[in-house]
């Protein structure tokens, strides 16, 4: 028999005793594993420690609050800014000097510069994190400026399409009170329409850019009807009222002609108040122009100047110098409002979170409001 056949017979001999045969198989397996090792599975990554992750977020939040606190303290100590033609040029060139912006000595006199931005409305939040904002905040700044002996004049920097009737009239009333002691100049930016135009009627003088969108003297009231939507989802609202007009303007049913007439009368009443404010604040506008341009239309700052609704064409530097001229001072310094610190930051965060709730959005949708607002 050939040698190879003998070797094969030895390797495949199954006539060995069972114990020796199992021993031989084990030896062969060890040899195979040594020469041809099996691939190793990669080590599984351990899940991140939740406590460690929470700790990192806590450190980051503390860092943010610490920075806010430092900024708040710094700006409280130095709350005033000086605006000169030279600094205006630096701003145009992109030069920012925050430290120099808060450099007025305590007790130095100047002009209060109060900004009115966006839709004018009250803050209806009632949570522990809510804070006065919108019309309440602006009215408070005007009131404080009127009572401050270091304030020689006030500039209202307006970039607003208007807002709710009561909020606009709140600011308007505070300007009239402040004007008893201080000179007030209104500055129109991109948009000063409807309620933004209304509050300026209390000012002594108005400055606007030629391309400013202004006017929109009028009132708007909008109601929504979600009855069709509720029918689709199988919801029916059944009001129980003490009078037939108690749910007038409801979003859950059509409005009757009688209800429309009542609401129209209310809109007409608030328009009459708007018209009276324009007539009192702009006595030099011709009666025929006053009647024509108070029908809700918007027009440019240039047209407003030509008609007498605006006293001067220009920007913030022109408003600053005009306020100084009315107050009898040359090159007036500008007192700016202190930016929000840590407390206001936390309160505004809670307020914004509350405003984002679905319930609040639905409440806003379902509540009719009368507004001095330019809607485009």
Which residues are part of the catalytic machinery?
Answer: 194, 246
Contacts of 272 (CB under 8 A, 6+ apart): none
47-79 burial: b if 16+ Cβ within 10 Å, else e:
eeeeeeeeeeeeeeeeeeeeebeeebeebeebe
Beta strands in the chain (DSSP E): 110-117, 151-160, 162-164, 183-193, 205-208, 213-215, 220-222, 298-300, 312-313, 334-336, 369-373
**CA–CA distance, 122 with 102 (Å, rounded to integer):** 30
CA geometry: angle 6, 7, 13, nearest 5 deg = 85
Q: Which one, of 132, 131, 115, 188, lies nearest residue 334 by Cα?
A: 115
What one-character DSSP code corresponds to residue 154?
A: E
**Calpha distance 117→135 (Å, rounded):** 10
334-349: b (≥16 Cβ within 10 Å) or e: bbbbeebbbebbebee
Q: Are 301 and 210 in contact (CB under 8 A)?
A: yes
Tokens matching residue 33:
């594993």
Residue 159: burial class (beta carbons within 10 Å; 0-12, 13-18, 19+): middle
The residues, any chain, with a CB within 8 Å of residue 131's CB and separated by 6 or more, are 123, 344, 347, 348, 351
Tell me the C-alpha distance between 270 and 371, whole Å.
9
């Amino acid at each position: 028999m050939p040698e190879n056949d003998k070797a094969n017979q030895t390797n495949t001999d199954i006539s060995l005793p069972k114990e020796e045969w199992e021993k031989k198989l084990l030896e062969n397996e060890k040899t195979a594993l040594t020469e041809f090792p099996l691939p190793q599975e990669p080590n599984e990554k351990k899940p991140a420690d939740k406590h460690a992750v929470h700790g990192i977020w806590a450190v980051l939040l503390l860092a943010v609050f610490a920075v806010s606190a430092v900024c708040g303290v710094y700006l409280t100590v130095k709350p005033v800014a000086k605006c000169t033609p030279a600094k205006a040029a630096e701003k145009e060139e992109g030069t920012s000097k925050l430290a120099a912006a808060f450099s007025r000595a305590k007790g130095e006199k100047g002009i209060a510069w109060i900004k009115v931005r966006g839709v004018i409305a009250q803050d209806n939040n009632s949570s522990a994190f809510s804070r006065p904002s919108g019309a309440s905040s602006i009215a408070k700044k005007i009131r404080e400026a009127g009572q401050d002996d270091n304030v020689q004049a006030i500039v209202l920097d307006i970039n607003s399409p208007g807002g709710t009737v009561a909020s606009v009239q709140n600011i308007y009333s505070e300007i009239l009170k402040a004007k008893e002691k201080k000179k007030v100049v209104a500055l129109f930016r991109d948009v000063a329409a409807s309620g933004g135009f209304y509050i300026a009627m209390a000012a002594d003088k108005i400055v606007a850019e030629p391309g400013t969108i202004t006017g929109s003297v009028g009132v708007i009231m909008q109601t929504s009807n979600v009855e069709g939507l509720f029918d689709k989802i199988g919801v029916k609202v059944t009001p129980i009222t003490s009078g037939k007009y108690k749910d007038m303007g409801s979003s859950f049913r059509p409005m009757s002609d009688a209800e429309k007439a009542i609401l129209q009368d209310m809109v007409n009443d608030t328009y009459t108040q708007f018209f009276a404010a324009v007539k009192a604040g702009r006595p030099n506008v011709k009666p025929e122009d006053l009647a024509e341009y108070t029908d809700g239309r918007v027009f440019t700052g240039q047209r407003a100047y030509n008609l007498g609704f605006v006293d001067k064409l220009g920007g913030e530097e022109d408003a600053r110098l005009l306020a100084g001229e009315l107050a009898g001072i040359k090159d007036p310094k500008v007192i700016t409002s202190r930016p929000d610190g840590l407390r206001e930051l936390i309160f505004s965060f809670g307020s914004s979170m509350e405003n984002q709730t679905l319930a609040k959005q639905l409440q806003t949708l379902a509540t009719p409001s009368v507004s001095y607002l330019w809607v485009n």
